[in-house]
Structure 1
Amino acid sequence: MKMNPLGRTGLRVSELCLGSMTWGTQNSEAEGHAQIDRALDAGVNFIDTAEMYPVNPKSAETQGRTEEVIGSWFARTGRRDDVILATKISGEGYQVVRDGAPISPATIRAAVEGSLKRLRTDHIDLYQLHWPNRGSYMFRQNWTYDPSGQNTARVLADMEDTLGALEREVERGTIRHVGLSNESAWGTAQWLRLAEAGRGPRMASLQNEYSLLCRLYDTDLAELSVHEDVGLLAFSPLAAGLLTGKYQGGAVPPGSRMTYVADLGGRVTKRMPDAVQAYLDIAARHGLDPVQMALAWVAQRPFTASVIFGATSPAQLDLALGAADVTLPDEVLRDIDAAHRAHPMPY
């Protein structure tokens, strides 16, 4: 398993990161524990979660359960030091957590304490802001995104206040490093500038959606990542399962994500099946498994720190872990580039 630097933290994380958002709904506690055991045996040292998990479906009754699954694994095994643990604080608008309150000094302390209790640990290695208070163009909001209503001074003051609260948690020892999620290039640059001005800790990473089908990261954010050492933690690298091919021809396998979210968060469009098929055909032509091809491609991008994947069965987990042994040759990369030009932004 290849290890990559996590920003400028000095930590090195496995190029594959075990996602956890199904633990507590689609997966039981025992299944979550088994996934952690298997992933660590394969060389993974990085687990990502969030206080709002599990999802599919999301509910007030299950919120926080995923962190509890991880916490009970720590308690059972005593292997806290074998894991680089990342979690996230929920932001404005998600009513299940703190009645949808924004991220602020008033909420950060309570959120950190809640996560620590559920995770049964005294520290979080990477504490991430799940989405910006000012809003985000992620999750298909890019089609109508309009930042013109934002007040620049207010946004920057909010960032400065948040960094101050995060600094106090670093000083307490409850969190070690901080990161972003669903952020833009401008936003990330401002967080970095404020850190350089001494307003708080430096953002180590950026967790945004990235896959063969979703390549918003390829330009401005890619440049920022490379120059500023803010690595991408790519989520949904299989495009919510689309790149497995299991939904082709209108199929909806029982228990799959589409049974809970029919449009896969706006990813199901008229152009999507043809785009997926183009990548399935490339994998078949080169004798590759499409899941491993998709994961290996994200891992090989020059700005990727780690690829976050999830699984609901042991077979899915083993298949994904096998991507660590795959290096895509130039001819495959050329075919992928051609498919991207033919099928840009299918959703």
Structure 2
Amino acid sequence: MTLDIITTEAAFTALEPVWDRLLDSSATHSPFLAWDYVRLWWEHCGNEYRMQIGVVRDERAEVVGIAPFVIGADRGDSRQHLRHLGFMNGLGDVQGERMDILVPAGREAEITPLLASIISKTSGSWDVVRLNKVPEDSPNFPYLLEEMRRAGTTAGVLNQSECRCFDLPPTWDEYEKSKTGNFRRNVKRHWVQLFERHQAEVVRDMDLDERVKHFFALHSMHWPDGVSSFLRPPGNKIHEALIKKWIPEGKVIMPFILIKGQPAGSVYVFCHKNEMLIYQLGWDKQYISLSLGNNAVRAGVMEAIERGFTMADFLPGEYRYKREWSSYARFVSDLECFHRWHPRSVVFRILRAAKRRLAQAQADPVKPAAAENPEPEAESA
């Protein structure tokens, strides 16, 4: 097998015919690694990065592995001067939630070490390797971490994020029966109130332009301007294009709850293989008493069950409603290592260590030492 490192847009575009086929054969199921998503990310964000895409070919010159890497800056003031090696769609303001390299399931021991060697081969070009949101159950995980330990220093898991999940049975009633009595009563009560008292309806076939406009409007009610990267460029441009392309292809579920004919709540769900990945919610705050967020999730889950999906994932982020809907969790981790001697890497590590020591000292001030020979307390009369 051979390893090539792709650095041009023409060579990247030439991978389109094999990209999704390779993703579908991989152990990690993720729409964030799909060709459409990665291509749109590069189209809107690529001017800030350099491609370093690893491609492994077998003896017949067929592509059997892809490591979609780039080099550039990551978000955060303290990191803006560091050269990061990371995933396409894994650095900057717009980042995927489940990231990995593309290797056929069962062939990781054969292919992944060769792909991961890009980390060492490109070490002259990066100060830090930051591989965000790698599933901990990915067969590629240990090989990536091993190569990072070989190529850099302080390699390990920087952050671990919990993704709340639940299995989807063949019917909504079966799912409902699997939950606690309190959850069932609350979900049913809010659903009944919505339709009996407010003449609501669930709409699945809205015009695509209208979907985009209304979903962003509902989502923005919960996030001030500039806070959510989903609402500002380039994130909104990427997702507008994805919604319009993927809904007709069945890769996105986005039902709307209408009250008095007006959109009042919705959920943005990615569909990949047999999984639904619940990505964003939006609902009108004037209907807060109707639990429109939970009702939007229910509308999405019911549609996913009808389409035969078998698993739901809320993706990273800890909220009470996710715990209430879910029955187990899976985890994603941010992997990081630093170049051993590049000046910017060394300076960053020194400053970060000093900052952490200062924060620890402020949190745990040193108590004054007791006197060696304290005077005895006066005896009571």
* TM-score interval for Structure 1 and Structure 2 normalised by the shorter chain: 0.3 to 0.5
Structure showing greater radius of gyration is: 2
TM-score by length of structure 2 reads: 0.30
TM norm structure 1: 0.32
Higher strand fraction: Structure 1 or Structure 2? 2
